Amino acid sequence: MTVIEIYDQSRADNKDVWKIVLGKHNLTSPMSSYSRPGVTTKSQSYYFTQSVKAISVTSTAKGITSKHLLIGTIGDQVLAMDKRFFDPRRSVNPTQSEKEEGILPLTDSLPIIPQSYVTHALKVEGLRGIVTVPAKLESATLVFTHGVDLFFTRLAPSRTYDSLTEDFSYALLLITIVALLVAIFVTWVLSEKKDLSEKWR
């Protein structure tokens, strides 16, 4: 597998956040179709141990959640791999800044983790394609795999960070809110009494 990514370096020098927010960044160098943009390309080839029948990328409603590559293998299963494995900037010894950015060290081949199979132990016979659709929650994406068989599942590439777990204690939340309201009321009463006593002096 070969990955090619294009990076726009023409606006990389803009460090002023306020200019970017207000849309006033880099106004001194207008873009033109006749001028050559400061674009760099990086490519990297990776060895994948299985043959690929279909490939797709997870998509979410706002595009905030990290992307996963969905690979339909020759064994009629779907493997989800983090896009960071396919980053062309990977090197054998990444620098500290690259590590902080989340760039993984380069390895000989792409790792196949058994827990990363979206289809688990099931097979989608005659796998022909993978379709991904955003779900209502930003953290989730819906995956539909079709062939002779059909397979549908919900996938959370960055885990369900925008939803409550099933064992969430609603009672504790309610108790906390009531305690805060009582504390606010008590402090208000004490404040009123203090103001009144100061006025009588």
Q: Which amino acid is at 108?
A: D
Angle among Cα 185, 189, 195 to the nearest 5 degrees reads 145
What is the pLDDT, as a whole number, of residue 26? 58
Q: Which amino acid is at 50?
A: Q
More confident residue, 32 or 59: 59
In the chain, the percentage of residues whose pLDDT exceeds 90 is 35
* b/e map 95-108, b = 16+ CB within 10 Å: eeebeeeebbeeee
Parallel, antiparallel, or unpaired for β 129-134 and 141-146? antiparallel
What is the pLDDT, as a whole number, of residue 79? 92
Measured CA distances, 54 to 70, 76, 142, 147 (Å)? 8, 10, 16, 11
Q: Would the pLDDT of 27 be above 60?
A: no
Nearest to 151 by CA among 134, 164, 132, 170: 132
Length of the chain counted residue by residue: 201
SS3 of residue 75 by DSSP? coil
Is the pTM here over 0.75, yes or no?
no
Q: How far apart are CA 63 and CA 85, in angstroms?
A: 19
Tokens of 62: 């706002």
Q: Which residues, 6+ apart, have CB-to-CB distance to 84 below 8 Å?
A: 66, 102, 103, 104
Q: Over the stretch 117-169, which tens digit does the pLDDT of each residue have?
A: 999 889 999 999 999 999 888 888 999 999 999 999 999 888 877 777 778 88
Angle among Cα 112, 125, 127 to the nearest 5 degrees reads 65
Measured CA distances, 43 to 85, 125, 178 (Å)? 13, 34, 57
